[in-house]
Structures are given as structure tokens and as C-alpha cells.
Amino acid sequence: MKTKKTAVPTWLKKYKVGSGSFFYNGERISYSIISKDFEPRFPGFVGFPEGHLFISEEVPKDYRKPILIHEFVEFTEFAGQVDRCRRAVVRELFHAPKGEEYSRYLEYRKTFFERLIEFYRDSNDVSDEFKMEIQGSYELLKKLIAQLETEDLPTECLGGHSLKEFNNLDVFARRNIILRED
């Protein structure tokens, strides 16, 4: 089993309040938990600078792994590809909490992308491509939430399963579905 660990960038060290790791595709991936003081204007932030994953201390513990998987696959497996952020959302959902917590998770992530869009709306610090990527993720989450309310989700969104079926799958079943699709 491999371990994916990179050094905390110097500029980030003073904000580190903890660390953690998770398994993904046979690798142990380490990350830092960063004080909310790092970016108080943006609650629930996450990043992958210089190959080092980090996440805000504000992110609920049960939500960290799927969000970090999103960040990791977006900038490794899907790097340089169009629609990489939205595709990473799909991948993260295979690791999201199940049952009733699933809909709360979707709402949390939709709100995150909504804030991200607003945060960068008038910014020249990011590319228009980045803005389109986050908009695509927001639109997907908004659609999933709307369809969750009507329980009429297109099966292609979740590996051929209805939302109700997917919502009841455990992490291992979700992982097997995504591995078959890759």
C-alpha cells in the first residue's frame, strides 16, 4: 500500500491545526487541517497547492474525505481535462454520507460552490475556465438536489442507479460502481 504525503508549504504551516489521512484507490493520502483564520472570507475552504491537500477546520469531519477526494482527483486524475470539477463532484458523491445525511451533504456542497462562485465573480485572480468549472459543479449539485426532492434522478448520474438506490449503497458498493465506469 502506497502513502501519498507531501510537505506542508511553508506559507501554510502557521495555519495548520491538525492533520489526517484517508485511503483512496489503495493509497493513504495525508492532509492538513487548517485554521479558519487562513481565509475567514470563505468558510469551508479546501486546496491542493504544491501537491499538499488541506481543508478548513470548519468542514464537518464526516464530509472531509469526500471533499478531499474531490480535490485530489480533480487535480491528479482529471488534471488538464475539461469539466474536471464536475466530474470530481460525481467521484466524490460515491464517498459521500448515505441515508438522510446524503441530502444535507449535497446542500452543503451546493452552498460551497455558490460561495466560491460569488467569491471569484469579479476576480481576475482566476481564469474564466476555472469560473466555468465551478459553475458546472454548482449546476450539477443544484440539479441533484432538485431531483432528490422529486426522486426522479437520471440513472446515468449515479452509475446506472436511481437516486434512491444510490442513497442506500455503502461506500464499497459506490466504489465498485465507479471502478466499473473508469
**pLDDT (0 to 100) of residue 146:** 85
Query: 36 pLDDT exceeds 60?
Result: yes
pLDDT, mean over the chain:
86
Give the whole-number percent of the chain exceeding pLDDT 90: 65
pLDDT in tens, 4-18: 567 889 999 999 999
Q: What is the pTM of this model?
A: 0.80
pLDDT number for residue 182: 44
Instruction: Kindly state the percentage of the chain with pLDDT values over 70.
Output: 79
Give the pLDDT confidence of 55-90 residue by residue, as tens digits.
999 999 999 999 999 999 999 999 999 999 999 999
- Confidence (pLDDT) at 23: 94
C-alpha to C-alpha distances, 162 to 98, 109, 138, 166, 169, nearest whole angstrom: 14, 20, 21, 6, 11
8 Å CB contact between 80 and 37:
no
Nearest to 120 by CA among 104, 132, 136, 107: 132
DSSP 72-123: HHHHTTTTT-TTHHHHHHHHHHTTS--THHHHHHHHHHHHHHHHHHHHHTT-
| 105-127 pLDDT, tens digit each | 999 999 999 999 999 998 889 99
Overall average pLDDT of the 135-149 stretch: 89
